[in-house]
């Protein structure tokens, strides 16, 4: 279902004749004469766009690649800030001098962040181009390692955003589960996976006891990748299949893991 954010990202790419991969969000910022201000910021900071009234232009402050931020993540952050620039109600707030992250209404702030993320994912990975790219890369479906290679070699995107997009685009029945220190943070199912009764994993709960993800967290190695077949009931209450293939990557030393579950028959 196209949304304002996805329609708008498409319009931006078409207007600037940039409808091809990889998409360079820095080039788009340049065309829009947005000032790019890299700097040494505190660890929790990724990027922020502001309107500078004196200069009558926008500026994006950001942590550049290499300063503890991989290029894919920086690209996503810039694309996210471009979402605040292009989405009309976000831009109005910026022009009024309200920073998008200082909105007092938490729900509307969270909603705006979600919209900007959606804009960014659609801008960097337009649906049809993304599906075609996956098809060219690995005969239609991908493992996490292959998505990792695709994101860094071809798309210039983060693994997290690429895996989310892979599920959103319904390329195969699958669900991505993102966990930290063994606790589920969020999950993104494909539409087909929901139909098969495997579209929901409870948040804020420990990853299942007999899962490969639990196993991966228990090993101390950095960059651990574990995969294997598990009973579908390990993860889901009423799955339509008996087994799922579980593919897990632990991301560096951050305590984050991405799990990709697909039906295995
Ligand atoms: Zn934001």
pLDDT of residue 1: 58
Q: 51-102 pLDDT, tens per residue?
A: 999 999 999 999 999 877 889 999 999 999 999 999 999 999 999 987 655 4
pLDDT of residue 53: 93
pLDDT of residue 68: 76
Q: In order of start, what are the domains of the chain with their CATH numbers?
A: 4-124 (1.10.10.2910), 127-263 (3.30.450)
139: left (phi over 0), alpha (psi -120 to 50) or beta: left
Give the distance (Å) from ligand 1 centre to CA of residue 84: 7
- Cα separations in angstroms, 124 against 120, 142, 213: 6, 19, 29
Ion ligand 1 nearby residues (CB, 5 A) = 100, 113, 116
Give the distance (Å) from ligand 1 centre to CA of residue 107: 13
pLDDT of residue 232: 98
pLDDT of residue 101: 52
Taking 50 as the pLDDT cut, the residues of the chain under it are 102-104
Distance CA 17, CA 11 (A): 10
Give the distance (Å) from ligand 1 centre to CA of residue 23: 19
Give the distance (Å) from ligand 1 centre to CA of residue 92: 14
Give the distance (Å) from ligand 1 centre to CA of residue 52: 17
Give the distance (Å) from ligand 1 centre to CA of residue 203: 23
Residue 149 near residue 162, CB atoms below 8 Å: no
pLDDT of residue 142: 84
């Amino acid at each position: 279902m196209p949304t304002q954010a996805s329609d708008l990202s498409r319009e931006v790419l078409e207007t600037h004749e940039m409808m091809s991969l990889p998409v360079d969000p820095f080039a788009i910022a340049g065309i829009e004469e947005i000032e790019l201000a890299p700097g040494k910021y505190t660890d929790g900071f990724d990027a922020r766009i502001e309107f500078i009234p004196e200069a009558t232009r926008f500026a994006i402050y950001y942590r550049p690649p290499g300063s503890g931020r991989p290029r894919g993540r920086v690209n996503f952050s810039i694309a996210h800030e471009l979402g605040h620039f292009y989405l009309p109600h976000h831009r109005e707030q910026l022009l009024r001098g309200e920073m998008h992250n200082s909105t007092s209404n938490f729900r509307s702030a969270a909603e705006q962040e979600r919209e900007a993320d959606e804009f960014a994912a659609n801008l960097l990975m337009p649906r049809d181009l993304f599906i075609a790219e996956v098809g060219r890369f690995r005969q239609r479906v991908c493992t996490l390692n292959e998505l990792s290679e695709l994101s860094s070699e071809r798309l210039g995107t983060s693994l997290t955003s690429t895996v989310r997009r892979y599920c959103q685009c319904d390329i195969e029945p699958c669900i991505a589960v993102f966990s930290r220190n063994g606790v589920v943070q969020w999950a993104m199912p494909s539409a087909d996976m929901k139909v098969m009764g495997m579209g929901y994993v409870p948040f804020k709960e420990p990853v299942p006891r007999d899962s490969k993800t639990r196993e991966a967290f228990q090993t101390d190695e950095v960059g651990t990748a574990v995969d294997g077949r598990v009973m579908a009931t390990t993860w889901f209450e009423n799955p339509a299949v008996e087994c799922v293939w579980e593919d897990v990557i632990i991301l560096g030393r951050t305590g984050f893991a991405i799990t990709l579950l697909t039906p295995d028959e």
